[in-house]
């Protein structure tokens, strides 16, 4: 009962044709096509019911977010333009006010300068009038002194030439009247 094991170098199934690769076996095409159609159908149903609605929601959500962002950007653009227009208006108003203030200050300074100039002019006119009055007084005094001096000189000359004394009144009546 003991069988004797022999070592062999033979390849099992050596004389038999090997079977073809199952997907390429023409005898199994029909069942393979059936299972392929069934698998793709189930896969399509699964995708249609679960995956594709979720992908559609994500796409719609993304589209809505993009639209919200575009709307927000447009609103910010409008707001920025309004702010810029307000800034430019404020700047223009400020320049106008600054020019008005500068004009007011210039006018006030000119009034002050004109007032000071009028004061100085009146002071100069007063001093000029005082100086002219003083000069007139000095001139009158000098002219009156000139007649006295001329009378004294004429009296001395007549006394020297004629040898007689002449009164001051006579000499004064002979002298011309001073002009004022």
CB–CB of 146/178 below 8 Å? Answer: yes
CA distances from 36 to 27, 144, 162, 172 (A): 16, 153, 176, 163
Say what the pLDDT of residue 176 is.
72
Q: How far is 155 from 178, CA to CA, in rounded Å?
A: 18
Write the pLDDT tens digit of every residue in 24-44. 888 888 888 999 999 999 999
| 106 closest CA partner among 94, 96, 114 | 114
Say what the pLDDT of residue 23 is.
77
Angle at alpha carbon of residue 44, lines to 43 and 48, rounded to 5°: 120
Kind and range of the H or E run holding 147: helix 52-162
pLDDT at 144 over 90: no
Q: How far is 25 from 31, CA to CA, in rounded Å?
A: 11
CB–CB of 165/159 below 8 Å? Answer: yes
Say what the pLDDT of residue 179 is.
63
Backbone angles phi, psi at 166, to 5 degrees: -115, 145
- Say what the alpha-carbon torsion angle 88, 94, 96, 101 is, to the nearest 10 degrees: -170
Q: How far is 39 from 176, CA to CA, in rounded Å?
A: 156
Supply the DSSP string of 54-119, one letter for each residue: HHHHHHHHHHHHHHHHHHHHHHHHHHHHHHHHHHHHHHHHHHHHHHHHHHHHHHHHHHHHHHHHHH
Say what the pLDDT of residue 29 is.
87
Q: What percent of the chain lies above the pLDDT cut of 90? A: 53
pLDDT at 60 over 80: yes
pLDDT at 17 over 70: no
């Amino acid at each position: 009962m003991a069988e004797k094991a022999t070592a062999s170098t033979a390849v099992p199934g050596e004389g038999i044709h090997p079977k073809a690769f199952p997907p390429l076996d023409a005898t199994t095409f029909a069942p393979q096509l059936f299972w392929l159609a069934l698998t793709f159908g189930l896969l399509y149903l699964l995708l249609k019911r679960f995956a594709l609605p979720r992908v559609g929601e994500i796409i719609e959500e993304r589209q809505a977010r993009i639209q919200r962002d575009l709307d927000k950007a447009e609103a910010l653009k409008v707001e920025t333009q309004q702010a810029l227009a307000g800034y430019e208006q404020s700047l223009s108003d400020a320049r106008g006010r600054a020019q008005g203030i500068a004009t007011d200050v210039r006018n006030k300074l000119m009034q002050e300068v004109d007032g000071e100039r009028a004061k100085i002019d009146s002071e100069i006119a007063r001093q000029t009038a005082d100086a002219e009055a003083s000069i007139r007084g000095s001139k009158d005094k000098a002219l009156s002194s000139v007649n006295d001096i001329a009378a004294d000189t004429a009296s001395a000359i007549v006394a020297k030439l004629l040898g007689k004394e002449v009164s001051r009144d006579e000499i004064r009546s002979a002298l011309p009247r001073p002009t004022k």
